[in-house]
Amino acid sequence: MTAALVAGLLAGFGIAVPVGAVATYLVSLTARTSLRTGVGAALGVATADGLYALVAVLGGSALATALRPVLEPLRWISGLVLVALAVRGGLTALRQYRQQRLAPRPDRAPAGPGRAFLALLGITLLNPTTVVYFVALVLGRGAGTAADPLEQGVFVLAAFAASAGWQLLLAGGGALLGRALTGRRGRLATALVSSAVILALAAHMIAAPA
């Protein structure tokens, strides 16, 4: 039981800690909106990680074989979705900056936590790296076929908890960043930098060899 708990925690942190395009988007989204929206987005990412951990322990080698033909299309779809988010974020920041410069007005109500949850859940589920990672871990520790169901459940819950903890930490950092950069120019600069980083990471994802 303890081994499954530790393995799940390490698996969750292992997939969550590396800062990629999704993590960058999570931080920038929270900075532009609110902590509540960021928490919703963070839980969306963690839920996707937990679902993939569950699928991996249940599917094992059969899942790896079934996914091999669609990994390339999934990688392209995931990259293109992130490109669209980066472009939209940059254009939205520019539009809001120009509107506020012409006539100060309150920002449009940001997307709520529910929408942020669904958006980040979908983006993370499209990332084939996540499922490949969990399948490799599960097969490596022999949990894909004959493991105790209780240990499998502990592994999945621990992976979810570790991922959720890290994503919530990122959301908190985004909220602090948003409070620190309250000026129009500061928000514009961070939004454009974030969009550029996401574009670069998405391009790397698309260009990476299969």
Q: Tens place of pLDDT for every residue, the chain, 210 residues?
A: 787 788 778 777 777 766 567 887 888 888 888 899 999 999 999 999 888 888 777 765 566 566 667 667 766 776 777 687 778 777 877 887 787 655 444 444 456 899 999 999 988 887 766 666 666 665 555 544 445 778 878 888 998 999 999 899 989 988 887 766 556 676 677 677 767 876 776 777 677 665
Amino acid at 61: S
Measured in whole angstroms, how far is the alpha carbon of residue 45 from the centre of its chain?
A: 4
Q: Cβ neighbours of residue 138 under 8 Å, at least 6 residues apart?
A: 53, 56, 57, 60, 144, 155
- CA distances from residue 166 to 9, 58, 141, 183 in whole angstroms, order as listed: 11, 25, 24, 28
Q: What does pTM read for this prediction?
A: 0.68
Number of domains in the chain: 1
Domain range for 50 is: 2-207
